[in-house]
Amino acid sequence: MLKVTLEQWRMFWAVAEYGGFNQAANAIHKSQSSIHHAVHKLEESLGVKLLQTKGRKTVLTDAGELMLRRANFLLDEAGKVEAVAQSLSDGIESRLRIAVDEIFPQELLYQVLDETSKHFPLLRIELQESVLTGASELLEKSEVDIAISPYPLKEGFSEELCQIEFVAVANPEHPLHSLKAPLTLQDLKTHRQIVVRDSAISAQKDVGWLGANQRWTVSHMRTSIDMISSGLGFAWLPLPAIVAELDSGNLKPLPLQQERRRSALLYLMFNDADRLGPAARHFIGELRYQTMNMPTSEQIIDD
């Protein structure tokens, strides 16, 4: 039998988290005496002093700091167990939250969402479109259930989903297309580059070639495509997103000597498979099937 209860660990965590017994009592709506009693029983059962008083402050002992790290893990796992049980008792989930990087092919995404909704007509789907590390951050904060991102999780499930090819493009009337010789990266430096801002809040990244002396940064891929189609700059854009512009002639691949095309790997990610309901599992299965049958870059465009 365990010497201490989960509730005692929770009381200890609250004192450490909020900086004292009185603060903990206000935060978790328990009496100060009940928290004192729980922490005292915890220390007595373990035979270890976890907290000490310094002046008017209650602080952790060295042993307390070590045990708090273990307690955090224990409480987090207990929360996950309860969440899994809740999912099982609820049966089919009523809501599915998905974060998808904007470079993922939209038409393919729409097909997967539509197929999922046909099987689960009462399901509410919440889609958040993101850039770079944005989808990963949303998943790490548990603000979504599933993410498609170019940045895999440090913890949780990350599976290679598909490669997205990028091609360097500009409007056919852009000055870069008037140069007679094949272009070098040095040629690009004197022209405006359009880049898309990372949608993450905590730790934004800049990726790709950023050597242009003049750069415009926008928040959405669609804005970048519209600007470049209008002749306002150049960029490497995801090939599936610009098929219509290439077909209409509003965009034309740049004749670079090297790095005309680049690629990015997208990952399918979620935190805990046991917490995914039937609708989420159906979405993942359909997503895997559709990406396996994605057209290749050669099928999309032939330079």
Q: Is 170 helix (H, G, I), strand (E, B) or coil?
A: strand
- At residue 90, the pLDDT reads 60
Q: Does residue 276 contact residue 284 with C-beta atoms inside 8 Å?
A: yes
Distance CA 18, CA 155 (A): 27
- At residue 204, the pLDDT reads 79
Distance CA 139, CA 153 (A): 9
- At residue 88, the pLDDT reads 57
- Number of alpha carbons in the 13 Å side-chain half-sphere of residue 67: 22
- At residue 181, the pLDDT reads 84
Residues of the chain below pLDDT 50? 303
- At residue 3, the pLDDT reads 82
Q: Which residue has the tokens 């009185």?
A: 22
Tell me the pTM. Answer: 0.72
- At residue 278, the pLDDT reads 92
Radius of gyration of the chain (CA): 26
What residues are paired with 194 via a beta bridge? 216
Q: Identify the structural domains of the chain with CATH numbers, from first to last.
A: 6-90 (1.10.10.10), 95-162+265-300 (3.40.190.10), 164-263 (3.40.190.290)
- At residue 163, the pLDDT reads 95
Supply the DSSP string of 30-43, one letter for each residue. Answer: --HHHHHHHHHHHH
- At residue 303, the pLDDT reads 46
Q: Does residue 35 contact residue 17 with C-beta atoms inside 8 Å?
A: no
- At residue 190, the pLDDT reads 92
- At residue 164, the pLDDT reads 96
- At residue 95, the pLDDT reads 92
